[in-house]
Amino acid sequence: MMSNVLPLALGLIIFSFLINSAFIVPFIDFLFKLKITRQVEGKKGGKSLFDKLHDTKAGTPVGGGNYIIFMTTILFAIIFPLSSRLGLFVQFAYNLSSEILVIFVTFIGFGVLGLIDDLIKTFGKGRPGERALGLVYGLSRRDKFLLQIAVASVAALLMYFKLGISILYIPLIGVTLNMGWLYIPFAVFVIVAFSNAFNITDGLDGLASGLLLICLLTFSVIAAGNLDTPLSVFMAIWSGSLIAFLYFNVYPARIWLGDAGALSFGATLGLIGLLTGNVIALCVIGAPFIIEVASSAIQIYGWKKLNRPILPLAPLHNTFLVKGWKEPKIVMRAWIIGIILAIFGLWLATM
């Protein structure tokens, strides 16, 4: 069966890439006309180190995430019903309609949350940030976090009650834990954690998108091995859209994901790890995102407990910028690390 699913998935990646490539340039021009671009953050005489490093990117269109979410959803809605007619034997690990529902509740739900944040950032007024070092735009951390938990809770409840997922597999030692109802808060944690981790990582041109593409291609192999056709088709279409976007997102970027894409893509990556039953492998394959969010947590600890920063600037990719590394160098090396970790995670998933 894998020999049936994998070739179609590869074909869909190419098809999705070609379709998205045809429309993304007009979409970028559309964003320019609407002036949906990054604002200059900070204020005169009070710019933080972060503002000084990144305000040269002001004016770059923000909205690539909206484009990818829309195109992936539309292409999936058209292609998946035709799968059987394309010679594909549709195999699914869970109830078909419920699995598709939980995928798009997460994919679109977090996208809408991020879109709200993007619109406030673009058209709203800034507010003073901590230590009065510049202006902060968008939803407050508290409001964003609570909304993330709400959407993730819907997805977790669907997984537990509709898909019947309640176990955690630990590779190498071959232990399967039946978590019962505790799986619900566990799933919420995984989804929200990866949503925020991806959002924090999305700070350099091509960094988060390239790492995500590596993760998706790895999990496409895992999903094909699990004979999960809807998930395989979804990831293939999503990957093709992401490649078309990445062409214009590498340094110097002509378009950014925005929070709509960052929050949605991280959350959906966490969901994929849960649906494939490979959360441990996910933590290895997606380790660059975990490292980035951990570096931010360490920095917050330094300010809260020690009243000083531990790193020159968080998250970690900004520390390398402060040390003088060029942006493409940081991104390329992160991709290389991501590839090695993906190979290791794929090995774990097959154990």
3-state helix/strand/coil string of 220-282: HHHHHHCCCHHHHHHHHHHHHHHHHHHHHHCCCCCCECHHHHHHHHHHHHHHHHHHCCCHHHH
Reported as a single tens digit per residue, the pLDDT across 121-168 is 877 666 555 544 455 566 788 899 999 999 999 999 999 999 999 999
Structure tokens at 346: 């794929």
Would you tell me how many other CB atoms lie within 10 Å of the CB of residue 12? Answer: 26
Pairing of strands 127-128, 175-178: unpaired
Low-confidence ranges of the chain (pLDDT < 70): 1-4, 38-56, 84, 86-89, 124-138
The DSSP secondary-structure symbol of 56 reads G
Phi and psi at residue 170, in whole multiples of 5°?
Answer: -110, 110
> What is the Cα–Cα distance from 339 to 281, expressed in whole angstroms?
13
User: Which residues form the domain of 128?
Assistant: 2-349
- Give the CA count within 13 Å in the CB-facing half-sphere of 208: 32
User: What is the pTM (predicted TM-score) of this model?
Assistant: 0.92
Would you tell me how many other CB atoms lie within 10 Å of the CB of residue 167? Answer: 12
- Domain count within the chain: 1
Q: Which residues, at least 6 apart from 160, have a Cβ–Cβ distance to it below 8 Å? A: 166, 181, 183, 184, 187
Reported as a single tens digit per residue, the pLDDT across 206-246 is 999 999 999 999 999 888 887 788 999 999 999 999 999 99
- Which pLDDT score is estimated for 273? 96
- Which pLDDT score is estimated for 152? 98
- Which pLDDT score is estimated for 132? 40
Contact present, 281 and 227 (Cβ < 8 Å): no
Structure tokens at 153: 């809770």
